[in-house]
Homo-oligomer: A and B are copies of this chain.
Amino acid sequence: MTVVTKTHAVRNGVDTEQLFGTLDVIKAQPELAKFQFRVSNRWIDGSHNRSTIKDFYAAGGEDTTRSEAFVIDAGEPAILVGTDTGANPAEYLLHALAACLTTSIVYVAAARKVQLTSVESMLTGDMDVRGALGVDDEPRNGFERISVSFHVTGNAPEEKLREVVERAQKRSAVYDMVTNGVPVTVEVTTH
Contacts and interface: CB of A to CB of B under 8 A. Distances in A.
Interface string A163-186: 001010101111111111111111
Interface of A is mostly: mixed
Number of this chain's copies in the assembly equals: 2
Contact of A182 (B43, B143, B151): B143
A79 B94 CA distance: 25
Interface in A73-132: 74, 76-81, 84, 86-107, 116, 118-132
Contacts of A143: 37, 173, 177, 182
A36 interface: yes
Given A53-B91, A165-B188, A18 B81 contact: yes
A135 interface: yes
A58 interface: yes
A6 interface: no
Contacts of A89: 96-97, 99-100, 103, 173-174
Nearest to A39: B94
6 smallest CB-CB distances across A and B, nearest first, come from A13-B46, A89-B100, A74-B99, A142-B177, A43-B119, A13-B45
A168 B171 CA distance: 32
A190 interface: yes
B63 A148 contact: no
Contacts of A76: 103
A153 B33 CA distance: 37
B186 A148 contact: yes
